[in-house]
Amino acid sequence: MPFIPHTEKDIAEMLKAIGADSIEDLFDEIPANLRSAGLQDVPTSTNEMEVTRVMHERADQDARTLCFLGAGAYEHHIPAAVWELTTRGEFYSAYTPYQAEASQGTLQLLYEYQTMMASLTGMDVSNASLYDGASSLAEAVLMAVRANRKSKAKRILMPRSVHPAYRKVAHTIVHNQGIALEELDYDRSSGIIDPDSLPKDPGDFTALVIPQPNFFGNLEEVDTLTDWAHQHGALVIGVVNPTALALITPPGEWGEIGADIACGEGQPLGAPLASGGPYFGFMCCRQTYVRQMPGRIIGRTEDLDGKEGFALTLQAREQHIRRSKATSNICTNQGLLVTAATIYMALLGPQGLQRVASHSHANTVKLADRLVDKLDGAEKVFDRPVFHEVVVRLKQPVRDVLQGLSEEGIVGGYPLAEEYPELDNCLLLCATETKTEADLDAFVEAVVRIAGRL
């Protein structure tokens, strides 16, 4: 039987030891009228050979694309070693390290991960992961409400320059608790929150969310924003791209005293695009707030002999101990992706990550410049330094351009108008370090060709 090792002899002897006549008898406490009549919509079983063929065909159907889309998920080169190691059975098929002594591999790796992330964000501590970028922002909002004891307002300032999906997810997760997410608009010419537009007297608010880079790729005035929020007794939640942190100021160094919580999407650190998941969310914070942090945290400690070892710690925050008073309901997180991220960061090192970041930046700028140069009427929408995404407005309907590109196997960027009606015919473009000169040219030529037909 698939994945079941029992022989007929085993079954007979085991039933005898139990004192039952048949396996069916073992279900005798289940009321007969509830018993399932069988399955209709599950196909008959296949073997690995057949399913291999199906999956190869389906993967092939979607393959061989050239991708200039970012918008929260970024195509970076992932060293082969990352997933060859990550999928080793000892990582892949273990569970949450409840028995620390039998899980030192995972535990030490997570401690190393926490060290890397804390350092990358410039914060004191990191947890061991959340689900993804959007849900990490939602958890950061909940955490800020717990952590900011001075504020009673349950009011979060949420810029429109934050990823629209993140804002939606945060809303889904926090709104039932009476937390208000209040929009902050962005400046139409710079594409960032205009520091001059911040209210002098904003009233009681719990936290300000600052995206860096923001959804448009633009770099926000993080220092001013951070200090402004702190001056008004609010916490600062930085939503950051981890690759960018190799290049730009980390949240821990924003303004006078730095952000209070940093969170974001871990995908750029070794997770493939893979249709959107599994990725992982990261979260770091000041030491002060560590007991308000959701999710697993690993600590270094000693064993009976005084030897260094690692264990889950601060479990009193978690649902399996604290139940209804836990900091979050999260249990299973994204351990395997964090394994990949840790190995990814170890393989790249500070220099490698910095090069990935700077090449992604340079390619994106080059792409936009060439497109504006070659395509009549195309223009950059914002006059602002960017990281690795940029907004370009076309004269042509972008839906048609994207459709044309898709027919040539090109995923051509993110059409902004759906979420930002004011940005009609604007594309959010991204060209990471994976793109060659020839790729950039191929994209620009394809757009010019397609636009010419419209």
- Give contact residues for a copy of itself (rule: CB under 8 A): 47-49, 52, 60, 64, 77, 79-80, 84, 87-88, 433-434
Q: Which amino acid is at 344?
A: Y
Q: 69: which 2 tokens? A: 């889309």
User: In angstroms, rounded to a whole number, what is the distance separating the alpha carbons of residues 123 and 442?
Assistant: 41
The DSSP secondary-structure symbol of 62 reads T
- Closest separation between CB of residue 309 and a copy of itself, Å? 24
Q: How far is the CB of 325 from other proteins (least distance, A)?
A: 8
The CB density around residue 39, as the number of other CB atoms within 10 Å, is: 8
Which residue number, 122 or 159, has a Cβ lying nearer to other proteins? Answer: 122
Nearer to a copy of itself (CB atom), residue 54 or residue 257 = 54
- In the complex, minimum distance from the CB of residue 97 to a copy of itself, in angstroms, rounded to a whole number: 22
Looking at beta carbons only, is 9 or 149 nearer to other proteins? Answer: 9
Of 266, 286, 325, 264, the closest CA to residue 144 belongs to: 286
d(CA 401, CA 405) in angstroms, rounded, equals 6
- Separation of alpha carbons 223 and 249, rounded Å: 10
Q: DSSP secondary structure string, 201-242?
A: ---S-SEEEEEES-TTSBPP-HHHHHHHHHHTT-EEEEEE-T
397 interface partner picked from other proteins, a copy of itself, none, CB below 5 to 8 A per type: none
The pair phi, psi for residue 383, each rounded to 5°, is -100, 75
Closest distance to other proteins from the beta carbon of 151 (Å):
19
Nearer to a copy of itself, 300 or 366 (CB): 366
Which listed option, a copy of itself, other proteins, none, makes contact with residue 11 (CB within 5 to 8 Å by class)? other proteins
Based on CB atoms, which residue is closest to other proteins, 128 or 202?
128
The total of other beta-carbon atoms located within 10 Å of residue 378's CB is 22
Q: How far is the CB of 201 from other proteins (least distance, A)?
A: 27
Give the burial class of 391: count Cβ atoms within 10 A of its Cβ; 0-12 exposed, 13-18 middle, 19 or more buried.
Answer: buried
- Nearer to other proteins by Cβ, of 104 and 379: the residue is 104
User: Distance (Å, rounded) from C-alpha 117 to C-alpha 344?
Assistant: 12
The smaller minimum CB distance to other proteins, of residues 202 and 440, is found at 440
426 binds, among a copy of itself, other proteins, none (CB under 5 to 8 A by kind): none
Tell me the closest approach of the beta carbon of residue 127 to other proteins, in angstroms.
9
Q: What CA–CA distances, in Å, run from 123 to 59, 60, 144?
A: 40, 43, 15
Instruction: Output the smallest distance, CB 136 to other proteins, in A.
Output: 10
